A and B are shown apart, each in its own frame.
Chain A
Amino acid sequence: AQKVTQAQTEISVVEKEDVTLDCVYETRDTTYYLFWYKQPPSGELVFLIRRNSFDEQNEISGRYSWNFQKSTSSFNFTITASQVVDSAVYFCALSEARSGGGADGLTFGKGTHLIIQP
């Protein structure tokens, strides 16, 4: 069965610090998809990034970067020069491909509550 572990329940840093959110996943499939979502206080989940299991390239988008390592089953997320607006709950999620083009529903980690203090 698939599983996503976000060991950090809550992280608090001061603005402008760099912060890394950890995500470790478990799956038996060779084809799977990884995602990061942000949930601000308003409650709506906001998509940040996706990766498929065959694409281990790291990605940078502005202050955000993601490190995908299949060898350690990790998909970590780093925010550089954090800002107060980055405060939110961040979720890592996994889905496994199914025949016919579908996929299992997303399996989410418990989330990391990130607090950026001014």
Chain B
Amino acid sequence: KAGVTQTPRYLIKTRGQQVTLSCSPISGHRSVSWYQQTPGQGLQFLFEYFSETQRNKGNFPGRFSGRQFSNSRSEMNVSTLELGDSALYLCASRSGGAYNEQFFGPGTRLTVL
């Protein structure tokens, strides 16, 4: 079974631009979550989508948004990029309920200049 895939793997943007990251979950997984990893704040939960609906949301500004398609693929969008948005963005998918582990993708390394 193929793992979680994320594209692109690396991205360089400038302040004020917007960016869209993509995530394809493991086949059959309907839950997709996004996390931001920075040296200062560590790993932080952004949001979770399940069956095309946002089910949970972390404490991030509205500039961070996402969506999920009928095939469970998900995209994350960050508008009006700030320098502090430079981070590794990780996507994770899960099958079944809350008890099940999340499987993570390799991440997208975003650099904002």
Whether the Cβ atoms of B101 and A102 lie closer than 8 Å is no
Whether the Cβ atoms of B98 and A97 lie closer than 8 Å is yes
Query: A60 at the A/B interface (Cβ < 8 Å)?
Result: no
Whether the Cβ atoms of B43 and A35 lie closer than 8 Å is no
Q: Which residues of A contact B92 (CB under 8 A)?
A: 45
**Interface residue total, chain B, C-beta cutoff 8 A:** 27
Chain A residue at minimum C-beta to C-beta distance from B55: A102
**Interface residue total, chain A, C-beta cutoff 8 A:** 27
Q: Tell me how far the C-beta of A22 lies from the nearest C-beta in chain B, rounded to whole angstroms.
A: 16
Whether the Cβ atoms of B56 and A108 lie closer than 8 Å is no
B48 in complex: contacting residue of A37, A105, A111, CB < 8 Å:
A105
Q: Which residues of B contact A45 (CB under 8 A)?
A: 90, 92, 104
A33 to B100, CA, bound (A): 9
Whether the Cβ atoms of B102 and A47 lie closer than 8 Å is yes
B19-42 contact mask (Cβ, 8 Å, vs A): 1 or 0:
000000000000001010000001
List residues of A (28-71) whose CB comes within 8 Å of B's CBs.
Answer: 33, 35, 37, 42-47, 50, 52
Known contacts A101-B97, A103-B56, A111-B42; 17 further A-B pairs (Cβ under 8 A): A43-B88, A43-B106, A46-B104, A47-B101, A47-B102, A93-B43, A97-B98, A98-B98, A102-B50, A102-B56, A103-B99, A104-B45, A104-B56, A105-B33, A105-B56, A107-B45, A109-B42
> Interface of A with B (CB < 8 Å)?
33, 35, 37, 42-47, 50, 52, 91, 93, 95, 97-98, 101-111
